[in-house]
């Protein structure tokens, strides 16, 4: 019943180590089917070299396991809450990639310094606040998603436009309309984080990219009159 979804989920999970975004058992990809209100996700603690599609776990958006013999990722409740809160997400990725996680640990947004960043989003990459103790003692994984949702609401960010975030003290989450796009954004986020760090090492007083260039690069790729790429 869920064979196609599990196969897709396994495929994109295996992209994470190939792209250098994970070590050992770190991180996960989930793939959603909104018509069925279900998502598939990597099982907890399984090394990527051992992962196969029959190990993938399928859950509904309320977190109930529907298919799979293994425990799902411990981050599954975070994914479920994001699917409930941000309609239209087809895939979600969580990693502990080095540069993105370093910015998350520093509790800093990734500044918008250049056109590579502006090609993907017209704002800094947001970082949430550190989670409050009472939330940590509560339903921690669900509260992780709520940290993201609350940050987007507070800053008036659109998750269809800003498809990456840093959770303070934790690490990056990305998403997209498909799992392929979610993985793409995870790789892009890591590169943007690396570029920003190098920019500040070279020039600690570097200024954010001027707004006119940001708008030009973002709109030519994502605006209603976009002309990047082929028709």
Catalytic residues: 119, 228
SS3 61: coil
Tokens 């981050």 map to which residue? 75
d(CA 82, CA 79): 5
Residue 67, classed as helix, strand or coil, is strand
Q: Which residues of 57-76 are buried (b: 16+ CB within 10 A; e: fewer)?
A: bbbebebeeeebeeebbebb
Token couple for 147: 């940290």
Phi first, then psi: give them for residue 65, nearest 5 degrees: -75, 125
φ/ψ region of 41 (left if φ > 0, alpha if ψ in -120 to 50, else beta) reads beta
């Amino acid at each position: 019943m869920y064979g196609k979804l599990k196969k897709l989920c396994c495929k994109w999970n295996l992209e994470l180590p190939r792209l250098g975004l994970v070590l050992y058992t770190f991180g996960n990809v989930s793939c959603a089917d909104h018509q069925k209100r279900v998502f598939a996700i990597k099982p907890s603690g399984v090394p990527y070299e051992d992962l196969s599609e029959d190990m993938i776990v399928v859950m509904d958006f309320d977190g109930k396991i529907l298919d799979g013999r293994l425990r799902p990722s411990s981050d599954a409740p975070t994914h479920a809450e994001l699917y409930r809160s941000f309609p239209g997400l087809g895939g979600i990725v969580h990693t502990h990639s080095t540069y993105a996680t370093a910015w998350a640990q520093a509790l800093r947004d990734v500044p918008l310094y250049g056109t590579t960043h502006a090609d993907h989003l017209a704002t800094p990459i947001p970082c949430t606040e550190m989670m409050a103790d009472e939330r940590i003692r509560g339903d921690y994984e669900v509260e992780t998603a709520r940290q993201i949702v609350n940050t987007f609401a507070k800053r008036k960010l659109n998750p269809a436009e800003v498809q990456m975030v840093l959770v303070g003290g934790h690490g990056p989450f990305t998403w997209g309309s498909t799992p392929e796009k979610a993985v793409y954004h995870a790789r892009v986020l890591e590169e943007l984080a690396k570029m920003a760090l190098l920019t500040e090492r070279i020039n600690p007083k570097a200024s954010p990219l001027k707004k006119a260039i940001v708008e030009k690069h973002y709109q030519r790729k994502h605006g209603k009159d976009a002309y990047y790429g082929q028709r």
